Amino acid sequence: MTAALGRAAHRVDRRIDEIVRPPDGPGLDGWRVLELLSDGAGHPMSEIAAHAMVPAPTLTKIVDRLAERGLVYRRPDGADRRRVLVLIADRGRELHARLAGRVAAVEREVRDALGTDVEVVLAALTRVGDHVPG
């Protein structure tokens, strides 16, 4: 079972990485960051790390690279000035918009491969993600 899950995740990640890899794209981890930030809200590093599935020190390097490219920026949280929020910059929003359709096409392929079972599979994967410690 774990081999099948891992193989499927690896193949989907590889397809998406082909679309978002540098030099033009932000890379897979960077894409996950931009995808979250594309909602226009600022997000704390801890939330972004969980979404991108990377440890905090790795996320710092990813955000640093994205900031150097002018794709994201940091600002203090207005509610808690000890906390820093990361936001998508205009340039990051443009890059996200340029790549999002191609990434969505891969996601549609996955949905099509799952067929009528798509909602059941997604619900099951969500349960696994929510209940297996990690």
Per-residue model confidence (pLDDT) at position 132: 84
B/e letters for 29-44, b = 16+ CB within 10 Å, e = fewer, are bbbbbbbbbeeeebbe
Class of domain 14-103: mainly alpha
Q: Please, which residues bridge with residue 49 across strands?
A: none
pLDDT digits (tens, 9 = 90+) for 64-118: 999 999 999 999 998 888 899 999 999 999 999 999 999 999 999 999 999 999 9
pLDDT digits (tens, 9 = 90+) for 27-43: 999 999 999 999 999 99
Per-residue model confidence (pLDDT) at position 34: 98
Q: Where do we find the tokens 């990813």?
A: 62
Among candidates 27, 24, 48, which has minimal Cα distance to 36? 48
Beta strands in 1-134 (DSSP E): 43-44, 72-76, 84-88
Instruction: Please name the residues in contact with 107: beta carbons below 8 A apart, sequence gap of 6 or more.
Output: none
Instruction: Please name the residues in contact with 12: beta carbons below 8 A apart, sequence gap of 6 or more.
Output: 106, 110
β-pairing verdict for 84-88 and 72-76: antiparallel
